[in-house]
Structures are given as structure tokens and as C-alpha cells.
Amino acid sequence: MEFSTLLFTIQNGIATITINRPDKLNALNKDVIQDLSNAIDEVYQNAEIKSAVITGAGAKAFVAGADISEFISLNKEGGAALAEKGQTNVFNKIENAPKPIIAAVNGFALGGGCELAMSCHFRIAAENAKFGQPEVNLGLIPGYGGTQRLTNLVGKGRAMELCMTSNMIDANEAHRIGLVNHVVPSEQLLPKAIEILTTINTKAPLALAKVIECVNVAGSENGFQTEINLFGDCFDTQDMKEGVNAFLEKRKAAFQGA
């Protein structure tokens, strides 16, 4: 697939999506949002892709936020539409993807960049990564799900403080509070992401999709019932029979995603 603002490659079942506006620290303008929407559609639809990693071009930034230069012309309706379109077409689509999508955070992940990383199923950070929600500096609040996902990930008090102070935290602090799962030297960032996804890609694809669906509703009133229903659905899959038989026959399972 061709994109004007992204690099998109597929290798060994792993799609690597690189936001490619390094001169603007990969800020999310309309074109990036549209390209990301199309790229995530491709992840959903392309059977060759089993999982994906999102990262930013250049050493300095993952994504330094929504493109501030696009804000000046917006009114109340325009602002709400920007947030709704982005949430629907990109952020929620990533979170609800039926295939694992992780963030490899290389540098600044601010505002929409932090929100993009948080919409992924989990995050790995380079040692130079910096996270923050600086919207109140601009008279704004997070609009791509930041108030909700940050609270879910790090708790109410920390989310309040990060969104109120605009303070940036470094990778180790992000790791300490549970915002990222691993911190690695920059040159090991993508190799680490690929290593984890290579392991995940050996697992049963329909079961992975169900894990994502269940974990995404954790804490809601439907969480436990969703798990019961989807656990039951697994028993009607070929992959469950293959996985159980392979274990009993002491061989490696060959999952078909069926």
C-alpha cells in the first residue's frame, strides 16, 4: 500500500507502520489521520498480516501531538468533529482491532502521540521516550481518548496530575506507573517489538482477537459475561481442537485462524 505520510511494510506477518513527518515531529495532521485509518483497515483485512507495530520516523519523536497548526480555524463544532473523526477512524479502530497492534515509542509521545500509543494494545519505549498530555498549555484538553485511556492505564490521580500539569515523564517513569511494558535502548526498540510480535504470531489468531475483546471491556459491567461467552466460542473453533490435540500429542500446534 502507498501512503503520503506513512511508511508501511509487511515482513513475516508483521506490519510496521511508521509515521513519516520527522520535520514536524510526526504531528498528526488530517493526512496522517486519513493514512492511519487506511493503514489500520489494511491490518484488519489483509490475511498476510497477523500483527502490527506503530512507530515514528526519526530519532526524536514518536508523535509530538495533533498538528497544532490545524487548530486555529476550528470552532466548537469543528473541534468536536476533529476529535470524533480521529477517535472513530483511528484510535478506537486500533484499540478494537482483531489483531495485536503495539506501539514502539521512539522519543516524544505528546498529546495525540501519547493517545496514539495508549490506543495500542501495549507499549514498548526507547530510553529517550517522553510522554505527556500538554493540551492545557494550549487551552485544550486531550481529544483522542487521552482522559479515558490514561485513567484506565495509570489511575485517576496520576492521570489528573499529568493532564493538569502538562509535565512530561521519561520512559523509566512511564514504565514505573504502568504506561509502558518495556524500556530498551533506541537501537533495540523495533527488534524488541518484532521479537514480542513474533512470539504472539505463533498463537491462535481467533483466541488473540478474543483476548483483545475481553481485556478491552475489563471493568465494564459486561466484562465477566463477555469472557464467558467468548471462552465458549473458542470451543467451536478448529484452532482450539488443533491446540488441545497438539498438546496431547506433544507436538507444536499449527493454527489456521479458523
Binding site for ligand COA (CB under 6 A): 24-25, 27, 64-69, 108, 110-111, 134-135, 138, 140
Q: Are strands 6-11 and 14-19 parallel, antiparallel or unpaired?
A: antiparallel
> Among this protein's residues, is 135 annotated catalytic?
yes
Q: Whole-number minimum distance, CB 248 to ligand COA, in Å?
A: 53
In the set 42, 70, 95, 135, the catalytic residue is 135
Pick the closer one to ligand COA by CB: 64 or 104.
Answer: 64
Q: Identity (one letter) of the amino acid at 139?
A: G
Q: Whole-number minimum distance, CB 134 to ligand COA, in Å?
A: 4
> Among this protein's residues, is 115 annotated catalytic?
yes
Pick the closer one to ligand COA by CB: 71 or 96.
Answer: 71
Pick the closer one to ligand COA by CB: 28 or 196.
Answer: 28
Q: Whole-number minimum distance, CB 36 to ligand COA, in Å?
A: 15
Pick the closer one to ligand COA by CB: 21 or 192.
Answer: 21
Q: Whole-number minimum distance, CB 183 to ligand COA, in Å?
A: 19
Question: Which residues form the catalytic set?
Answer: 115, 135
